């Protein structure tokens, strides 16, 4: 028996039709040519030479997994519960609605790579826009997914298939690392086996030891993607999201049917008729003549006949609290609030918002899993295209523009008003802290990025800071105005240009400078007055009078401010002067 066949047999038992030469018993009369020596462990248990070729009758000896029979039973029950039990159905469908509600897209910066991804996504066989929902549902239902891939050797175009999890007989793991599945054994309809090699991003020489490479070299039936959930690191098979809820959901369904039957019985009535001083023959005769009264019927009898309406008394306690407890046990185990399944309870808007937080965390965790799955699949699609073009395996991690991104919808509608206000306040606070030199620019950008992330905008603080500095440098270079270079010993332009404050200081003393300081609105009003004089809407004398009256300037200062404006004033009746 070859090394590969022995490894498969050790995992899932002997093949359905083993070759006689591989396992045969010598006749009783035959004399062995070589003496057989029994090997014994320290505890005294005999270890046969072919012990590795067998498995326990009840299934895999790995206690971290279900037995093969239990695994198939779980798959069938999960599908049945999803189809027939409304409570179980919601446990599967609610996360799907949150994960895929507005659709999922795969993006890449390189236009050619984006084209390859679009072709894969909309392929008539793949139809990921329609089938992704089924893939997500079945991973939750069955706990594992196996997707064989089919690659066009000329173009590199990829198509994916699907293996029914019930057809998976076993998972082959790395002999040196049980946490790494390297192959999937599938039972075909004709009873024979097919072994797929699990796809990894990298070469076997870089990822696996010699034993795993030898096993994978014998897996010539094709390549596949294999994912599993709700498993342990030392387990090989995945488990359904409904595994622990199947029995409780079924009991809840039975209670509902029982309550419906009880209510139907409670609505039944019986007419009890008592006839006094009558013989058995008269009672039988009267019974034959009686008919149950209908609505609005008139019944006439004497005092010898008494009619009484009887209802069944079940003496059953109200089971609504029992059903609520059981329902909440199932929902709580899946981190779903009671009011999401139609049970209001003591819930208001504030408590409902806080109760949904753990649920969104669980959904976000599953969303990250599918993001990794789709990005790994998209990377394989791009790699196969590049391999068909260049005949070389390309590491996409070193080619950022070819690296795909899976874009999922937001799990919840964000309170943009709250976060927008917070962003404005944080930006002002950061600006003041940086100006006061009590915070670095990088830390300030990190704070702003933290709030921006709540609005759905992911910012790399370091890259954003570099971009901001580069933009500031470009704006400075594009600025038309330049301060002239100052020659040592010569007054600068700023020193040579008198200001209003300087004029006031020269005429009224330095103590008046603070009093004459004007704000932006005052300066704008002063400019408006001068403009009205320039266009002829006001005479020069009126403008000077308005300046001295409205602003803390003298007549000389106002005349200097006015300059030559308004000299030789001619009234302009067509101008509507507004000050």
Percent composition of the chain: helix, strand, coil (DSSP 3-state, to 5): 50, 10, 40
Cα–Cα distance for residue pair 195/184, rounded to 1 Å: 6
pLDDT score at 3: 53
pLDDT digits (tens, 9 = 90+) for 524-547: 788 888 888 877 778 888 888 888
pLDDT (0 to 100) of residue 145: 95
**Tally of CA atoms within 13 A in the half-sphere of 367 that contains its CB:** 23
DSSP state of 44: S
Closest CA to 412 of 342, 466, 359, 343: 359
Contact 230, 255 (CB under 8 A): no
- Per-residue pLDDT at 539: 85
> What's the confidence (pLDDT) of residue 414?
65
C-beta separation of 250 from 327 below 8 A = no
DSSP string spanning 67-130? -HHHHHHHHHHHHHHHHH-HHHHHHHHHHHHHHHTT--EEE-SSHHHHHHHHHHHT-TTT-HHH
Q: Which residues pair with 310 in a beta bridge?
A: 270
SS3 category, 147: strand
Distance separating alpha carbons of residues 577 and 491, to the nearest angstrom: 41
Q: Look at residue 492 and give its three-state secondary structure.
A: coil
Q: Which of 13, 376, 377, 373 is nearest to 185 (CA)?
A: 13
Q: Tell me how far apart the alpha carbons of residues 314 and 36 are, in angstroms, rounded to a whole number.
A: 75
Q: Using CA atoms, how far apart are residues 481 and 265, in angstroms rounded to an integer? A: 94
pLDDT < 50 stretches in the chain:
15-47, 59, 493-516, 575-579
Asked if residues 237 and 69 have their Cβ atoms less than 8 Å apart, the reply is no
**Torsion angle of C-alpha atoms 107, 113, 116, 118, degrees rounded to 10:** 20
CB 249 within 8 A of CB 176: no
Pairing status of strand 144-151 against strand 305-310: unpaired
Radius of gyration of the chain (CA): 43
Residues 53 and 218 sit within 8 Å (Cβ to Cβ)? no
Could you give the CA distance from residue 362 to residue 547 in angstroms, rounded to a whole number? Answer: 70
pTM: 0.63
* 95-123 residues labelled b (16+ CB within 10 A) or e (exposed): bbebbbeeebebebebeebbebbeebbee
Tokens in use for 117?
């991804």
Tokens 């994912």, residue located: 227
Q: Are 538 and 529 in contact (CB under 8 A)?
A: yes
Q: What whole-number distance in Å separates Cα of residue 579 and Cα of residue 537?
A: 10
Q: Are 209 and 218 in contact (CB under 8 A)?
A: no
């Amino acid at each position: 028996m070859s090394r590969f066949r022995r490894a498969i047999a050790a995992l899932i038992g002997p093949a359905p039709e083993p070759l006689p030469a591989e396992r045969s018993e010598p006749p009783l009369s035959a004399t062995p040519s070589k003496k057989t020596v029994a090997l014994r462990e320290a505890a005294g248990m005999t270890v046969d030479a072919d012990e590795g070729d067998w498995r326990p009758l009840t299934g895999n000896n790995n206690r971290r997994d279900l037995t093969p029979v239990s695994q198939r039973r779980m798959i069938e029950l999960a599908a049945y519960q999803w189809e027939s039990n409304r409570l179980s159905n919601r446990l599967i469908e609610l996360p799907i609605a949150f994960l895929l509600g507005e659709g999922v897209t795969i993006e890449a910066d390189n236009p050619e790579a984006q084209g390859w991804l679009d072709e894969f996504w909309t392929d008539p066989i793949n139809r990921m826009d329609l089938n992704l929902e089924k893939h997500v549902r079945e991973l939750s239902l069955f706990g594992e997914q196996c997707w064989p891939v089919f690659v066009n050797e000329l173009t590199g175009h990829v198509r994916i298939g699907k293996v029914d999890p019930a057809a998976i007989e076993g998972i082959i793991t790395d002999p040196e690392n049980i946490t790494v599945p390297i192959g999937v054994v599938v039972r075909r309809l004709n009873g024979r086996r097919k072994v797929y090699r699990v796809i990894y991003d990298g070469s076997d020489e870089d990822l696996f030891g010699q034993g795993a490479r030898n096993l994978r070299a014998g897996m010539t039936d094709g390549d596949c993607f294999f994912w599993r959930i709700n498993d342990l690191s030392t387990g090989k098979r995945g488990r359904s999201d409904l595994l622990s809820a199947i029995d409780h959901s079924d009991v809840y369904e039975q209670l509902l049917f029982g309550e419906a039957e009880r209510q139907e019985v409670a609505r039944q009535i019986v007419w009890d008729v008592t006839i006094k001083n009558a013989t058995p023959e008269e009672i039988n005769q009267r019974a034959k003549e009686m008919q149950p009264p209908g609505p609005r019927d008139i019944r006439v009898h004497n005092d010898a006949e008494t009619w009484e309406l009887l209802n069944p008394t079940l003496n059953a306690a109200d089971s609504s609290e029992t059903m609520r407890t059981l329902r909440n046990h199932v929902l709580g185990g899946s981190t779903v609030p009671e009011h999401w399944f139609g049970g209001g309870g003591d819930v208001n808007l504030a408590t409902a918002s806080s109760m949904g937080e753990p649920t969104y965390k669980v959904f976000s965790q599953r969303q990250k899993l599918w993001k990794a799955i789709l990005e790994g699949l998209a990377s394989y699609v791009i790699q196969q295209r590049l391999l068909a073009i260049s005949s070389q395996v390309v590491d996409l991690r070193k080619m950022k523009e070819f690296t795909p991104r899976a874009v999922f919808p937001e799990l919840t509608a964000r309170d943009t008003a709250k976060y927008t206000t917070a962003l404005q306040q944080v930006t002002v606070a950061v600006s003041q802290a940086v100006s006061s030199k009590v915070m670095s620019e990088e830390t300030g950008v990190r704070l702003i990025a933290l709030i921006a992330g709540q609005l759905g905008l992911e910012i790399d603080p370091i890259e954003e800071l570099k971009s901001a500095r580069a933009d500031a440098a470009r704006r400075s270079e594009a600025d038309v105005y330049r301060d002239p270079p100052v020659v040592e010993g010569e007054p600068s332009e700023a020193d040579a240009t008198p200001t209003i404050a300087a004029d006031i200081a020269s005429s009224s003393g330095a103590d008046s400078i603070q009093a004459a300081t004007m704000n932006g609105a005052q300066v704008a009003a002063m400019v408006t007055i001068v403009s009205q004089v320039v266009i002829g809407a006001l005479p020069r004398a009126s403008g000077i009078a308005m300046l001295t009256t409205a602003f803390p300037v003298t007549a000389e200062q106002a005349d200097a401010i006015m300059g030559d404006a308004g000299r030789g004033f001619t009234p302009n009746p067509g101008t509507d002067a507004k000050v």
